[in-house]
Amino acid sequence: MARRASTKQTINFAAFDSPGARVIDTPLHEEVQKSYGEYGYSVITARALPDARDGLKPSQRRIMFAMEQMGLRPQGRYVKSSRVVGEVMGKFHPHGDASIYDTMVRMAQEFQQNTPLIDGHGAWGTLDDGAAASRYTECRLAEVATLLVDGSDEETVDFKPTYDASGLEPEVLPAAFPNVLVNGADGIAVGMSTNMIPHNLGEVIAATRWLVTHPSAGLDKLMEFVPGPDLPTGAILLGLDAVRMAYESGRGVVRIRARVEIGPLEGSRGRQAITITEFPYGIGPVKVIEAIQRQTADKRLQGIADVKTLTDMTTDGERMVIECKAGVNPQALLADLYRVTPMEVSFGINNNVLVNGKPQVLGLKALLEVFLDHRFEVVTRRTRYRLRKARERRHLVEGMLIGLDNIDKVVQIIRSSGDTAQAKARLVSELTGVHVSLGGKRLTRSLDEVQAAHILDMPLRRLVNLEVESLRAEWAQLTEQVARLQAILDDDGLLRKVVSDELAAVAKAHAGPRLTSLIDGDLKQVLAASAPAGPLEVSDDPCQVVLSATGLLARTAAASEEVTETGRRRSVRTKHDVIAAVVHCTARGQVLLLTSQGRAVKTDVLTLPTLPGQAGVVSLRGGVAALEIVTGLRAGERVMGLAPLGDGLPGGSAGVALGTRSGQVKLTRPEWPVRAEVFDVIGLADGDEVIGTAWLHDTHDTLVFISSDGQVLRFDAGNVRPQGLSGTGVAGISLAPNAHAVWFGAVRSEDTTHGEPQVVVSTGTQVKVTPLAHYPAKGRGTGGVATLRYLSGMNTTIQVAWTGTRPIGCTRSGDAVGLPEPDPRRGGSGIVVTGPDLLGHQIERE
């Protein structure tokens, strides 16, 4: 049977013929365990993990301390980065120059840290490219970095020997703000790692200050100040439930999503583009492009025509445009991009830090408490140092004043002494119990050896009266300073106030706005809710675009679900809001949005959400605000109506009719500019605006004006001569002084398929519905017919009005409001209302 090999290794020093040599037997597993344990401990404590107090790893701390010692302050000049690397490597950090410079690069990059600690000059890299070599870049300490190192020369922190014992280095920096949370950290040690996410400086300081005065504050209260991480690259963070878990336990996983803008591709009719304006933390355009190319080659990603990088570090920063193929739903494509590319990534939070030299995983409150304990100690030690220095200086000033108040005797002693030692001894012995003026009082003092030595070193210029008064003022100032510093040491509340005030000063000087948007809720639910429905490829089927009274835009899924604003076709029932305008189009086509300032804006139908619902029941809550579709709206400009665009317009289409606040009416033919995306459709006088638009099927439609003083005017559209786009229109309704037009639109009065057209007017206190047929047609440019008898004490100005068949009202929040039964009397008073105001109308018919 084979003999088992021994597990012991023998080190025989006798083999070297040394006198008194002895044999030491060490088990191999013990030696390996000991050596590896020492190595692991060294990596954990001296390389990979940040200290919870200043948020720095040893390499970062040594770089900052070295730059401070070199005088590379923010007000000074830049120096070559290689010079700093050499200084750090030679005096403090016994590792390679490459690792030191890599650390410096991260500390200087704005997309890595919320508050970069190094002010870099030169090519310090981008999200995709590394920095230039150290010989090509320059650096100095950033302004915020001084808040971490200031005070290290005031005995605020302990020092230890450097690696070669040739000097001293701080064990930790004083740190005037919680850098460990603000800038985050990452590192891989032996058997453990750290991955801390950055936060907003102002929010972290606000939470820290609250904890100063409320030490028992709970996590929920602290999260009122720090709702979530804030990344230097902005973007969107999903699932605050996971954030709270990380704040509570120190570990958690969050999802970071790129911020995008979806809009029409410039110069390409009907095609859409997805523009990435903010990338996830640590992700650049190159990584996204590589993933898109790989996924496209594997057929896992379709619908992309081209990808372009528009990165410009001087203006827009990192930007990338993804061009969609014709007919591709950009929302569906975006969902695929989030799923298979780094446009959405996970960040595993692991708050593993050193506390008293030992690794610990801490939550938000524990991290703030460790920092505050450190800051209290720093301020206490700094106060003791300054108190000692103030007392020492006051003692010397007091000695000089004793000598100056007894100058004749001092001069006589010095001149009659044989040497300096004798003079100092005589000054101490003979200037005992002498008088001196201090703080406005005549006091008795005695000189000691320290003061005597300082008097002997005192220059003769101190004898002038101005210098004497200056010394007395300095003594008084030092006395006040001593009392103030002693009060801080004696009163814990005062100490906490000093710490809080200093934190407030840091926030005031360096805090910036939040960059990252936060989406609350459970991560899985948020991801499910944000996944858009619908196919990637959208066929060019007929549909309708709908504008609601509250300004929402949407499209129907198919032509079978027809809606109307005037009752010309079958309409679907709605659960929210009311319809103000409808046009027929196709899913890949475009429509015109007509604004209150007389402009027309071309908009792609594909970008509009589809009306949710089924079986003829839809909800306009699924629409998108028109203000989000129309970019570049002027102040106060609103979307008032719709018009079709493109080929296949209904036969006999007369064009668009527009009515203005001053009573002008204009009819323009559908001959729109081909290339212009925005153009004028009416020339408006100063102060005038469009109050209504209508797409006319033919010139037999009836145009209706309703004025603020309750006048209703109807006339045939054939009375309006069509004009070009620059025309200002013709007189529509003649208005009384101080009156203005409230509503303008068109109805087909001879078509009663869906009921008789009704006129609805509301003053806010009275509402009245009257059949339009009861108002005689009149000529264009004339006055209207009165429609409301105002009640005593009621408002006498029409605020909301419209005309249509089977009208339904809604509030400004989109909730439906019932209207009174029609009143056949033109001069009736309607009904008195006290409920919500009315807005818009809808034709509702099954």
What CATH number does the domain containing 460 carry? 1.10.268.10
pLDDT given at position 555: 82
663 and 727 assigned to the same domain: yes
Q: Residue 257: which pLDDT band, with cuts at 50, 70 and 90?
A: very high
500 and 629 assigned to the same domain: no
**Exposed/middle/buried for residue 108 (C-beta within 10 Å: 0-12, 13-18, 19+):** buried
Under 8 Å between Cβ of 494 and 488: yes
Q: Residue 433: which pLDDT band, with cuts at 50, 70 and 90?
A: confident
Count of the separate structural domains present in the chain = 5
More confident residue, 828 or 614: 828
pLDDT(521) > 80? no
Going by C-alpha positions, the residue among 352, 379, 390, 395 that lies closest to residue 180 is: 352
pLDDT(703) > 60? yes
User: Is the residue at 517 inside a domain?
Assistant: no
107 and 85 assigned to the same domain: yes
User: Is the residue at 31 inside a domain?
Assistant: yes
Of 448-457, 532-541, 709-718, 731-740, the least confident: 532-541
81 and 161 assigned to the same domain: yes
How high is the mean pLDDT of the chain? Answer: 84
Distance separating alpha carbons of residues 685 and 687, to the nearest angstrom? 6
pLDDT(836) > 80? no
pLDDT(571) > 80? no
* Structural element, H or E, at residue 547: strand 542-548
Distance separating alpha carbons of residues 225 and 71, to the nearest angstrom? 36
Q: What is the mean pLDDT of residues 375-397?
A: 95
**What are the tokens at 24?**
């030491």
pLDDT(560) > 50? no
pLDDT given at position 838: 58
> Crossing angle for the helix pair 201-213 and 364-405, nearest 10 degrees?
80
pLDDT given at position 621: 56
Rounded percentage of the chain residues whose pLDDT exceeds 70: 84
Query: What order do you get walking across the sheet with 138-141 strand by strand?
Result: 79-80, 138-141, 118-121
List residues bridging with 583 in a β-sheet. 545
pLDDT given at position 542: 83
799 and 770 assigned to the same domain: yes
Going by C-alpha positions, the residue among 659, 742, 733, 662 that lies closest to residue 696 is: 659
pLDDT(669) > 90? no
Q: Residue 568: which pLDDT band, with cuts at 50, 70 and 90?
A: very low
User: Is the residue at 416 inside a domain?
Assistant: yes
Q: Report the 10 Å Cβ neighbour count for 317.
A: 18
pLDDT(222) > 80? yes
685 and 756 assigned to the same domain: yes
299 and 390 assigned to the same domain: no
Of 560-574, 583-597, 648-662, the least confident: 560-574
Single out the residue in 506, 533, 562 at which a domain terminates: 506
Of 402-416, 452-466, 581-595, 698-712, the least confident: 452-466
325 and 420 assigned to the same domain: no
pLDDT given at position 198: 96
Q: What is the mean pLDDT of residues 102-118?
A: 94
788 and 659 assigned to the same domain: yes
The domain that holds 314 is classified in CATH as 3.30.1360.40
DSSP H helical segments within 70-115, as ranges? 81-91, 97-108
pLDDT(749) > 60? no
Q: Residue 529: which pLDDT band, with cuts at 50, 70 and 90?
A: low
pLDDT given at position 199: 96
Greatest mean pLDDT range, 15-19, 529-533, 829-833: 829-833
Distance separating alpha carbons of residues 163 and 9, to the nearest angstrom? 32
Single out the residue in 175, 192, 225 at which a domain terminates: 175
User: Is the residue at 549 inside a domain?
Assistant: yes
Greatest mean pLDDT range, 99-103, 295-299, 530-534, 539-543: 99-103
Coil, strand or helix: which one is 685? coil
Of 6-20, 23-37, 424-438, 821-835, the least confident: 6-20
Q: What is the mean pLDDT of residues 486-514?
A: 95
Clarify whether 136 is annotated catalytic.
yes
The domain that holds 602 is classified in CATH as 2.120.10.90
Quote the radius of gyration of the chain (alpha carbons, Å).
40
Under 8 Å between Cβ of 189 and 40: yes
Q: Residue 154: which pLDDT band, with cuts at 50, 70 and 90?
A: very high
Going by C-alpha positions, the residue among 206, 199, 244, 211 that lies closest to residue 225 is: 206
Q: Report the 10 Å Cβ neighbour count for 481.
A: 17
E strand intervals along 549-689: 552-555, 573-574, 579-586, 590-595, 599-604, 613-614, 617-618, 624-625, 639-644, 655-660, 664-668, 678-680
User: Is the residue at 141 inside a domain?
Assistant: yes
Q: Report the 10 Å Cβ neighbour count for 151.
A: 20
Amino acid at 7: T
pLDDT given at position 215: 95
The domain that holds 95 is classified in CATH as 3.90.199.10
497 and 554 assigned to the same domain: no
Single out the residue in 293, 319, 342 at which a domain terminates: 342
pLDDT given at position 294: 93
User: Is the residue at 182 inside a domain?
Assistant: no
* Structural element, H or E, at residue 824: none
pLDDT(574) > 60? no
Q: What is the mean pLDDT of residues 533-551?
A: 76
pLDDT(2) > 90? no
Distance separating alpha carbons of residues 455 and 400, to the nearest angstrom? 6
Of 26-35, 284-293, 441-450, the least confident: 26-35
pLDDT given at position 85: 95
User: Is the residue at 266 inside a domain?
Assistant: yes
Task: Tell me the residue range of the domain where 169 lies.
Answer: 49-175
User: Is the residue at 696 inside a domain?
Assistant: yes
Distance separating alpha carbons of residues 205 and 510, to the nearest angstrom? 11
Of 384-393, 498-507, 765-774, the least confident: 765-774
Who's near 589: CB < 8 A, 6+ residues apart? 270, 540, 604, 605, 645, 646
- Among 136, 163, 338, 775, the active-site one is 136
787 and 824 assigned to the same domain: yes
pTM: 0.67
Q: Residue 209: which pLDDT band, with cuts at 50, 70 and 90?
A: very high
Amino acid at 290: E
Going by C-alpha positions, the residue among 111, 104, 137, 113 that lies closest to residue 126 is: 111
Cα(first)–Cα(last) distance of the chain, in Å?
97
Amino acid at 735: L
Q: What is the mean pLDDT of residues 218-240?
A: 93
Amino acid at 529: A
Of 574-583, 660-669, 711-720, the least confident: 574-583
Q: What is the mean pLDDT of residues 200-225?
A: 96
79 and 27 assigned to the same domain: no
**What are the tokens at 70?**
């070199």
Going by C-alpha positions, the residue among 114, 253, 110, 233 that lies closest to residue 182 is: 114
Q: Which residue has the tokens 């080929």?
A: 647
Distance separating alpha carbons of residues 209 and 673, to the nearest angstrom? 60
**What are the tokens at 761?**
């007017």
pLDDT given at position 5: 46
What pLDDT, in 10s, does the model give residues 267-323?
Answer: 665 578 899 999 999 999 999 999 999 999 988 888 899 999 887 755 456 789 999
**What are the tokens at 499?**
């710490």
pLDDT(617) > 50? no
Q: Residue 573: which pLDDT band, with cuts at 50, 70 and 90?
A: very low
